[in-house]
Amino acid sequence: MSRKEKIYSLYKGDDYLSDGTVKELAKKYNLTAKSLMCTKCPSRLIRQSKQKKPSNAYIIIDPEE
């Protein structure tokens, strides 16, 4: 039985980019799947908010959460 992959929404700052699985988003935007999943971590969100330009950060959102 295959496991169904979750669909995520990808934002850069407040701008919506697209949605898809982590693998699809990583391939489309030339990122790694690991770096995309790290954007969900609370510690990463705190670090991003302290950056000079937090609006340039990628944010991945699980619509089911």
- Cα-atom radius of gyration of the chain, to the nearest Å? 12
* pLDDT band with cut points at 50, 70 and 90 for residue 1: low
User: Rounded distance, CA 56 to CA 24, Å?
Assistant: 20
Mean pLDDT, the chain, integer: 84
How far from the centroid of its chain's Cα atoms is residue 31's Cα?
A: 10
* Interval 3-15: pLDDT, tens: 788 899 999 888 9
Across the beta sheet with 8-12, the strand order is 15-20, 8-12, 58-61
43: three-class secondary structure by DSSP? helix
**Mean pLDDT of the 22-48 span:** 88
* pTM exceeding the 0.85 threshold for the entire prediction: no
Q: Which of the pair, 17 or 47, is modelled with greater confidence?
A: 17
Which has more pLDDT, 6 or 40?
A: 6
3-state secondary structure of 34: helix
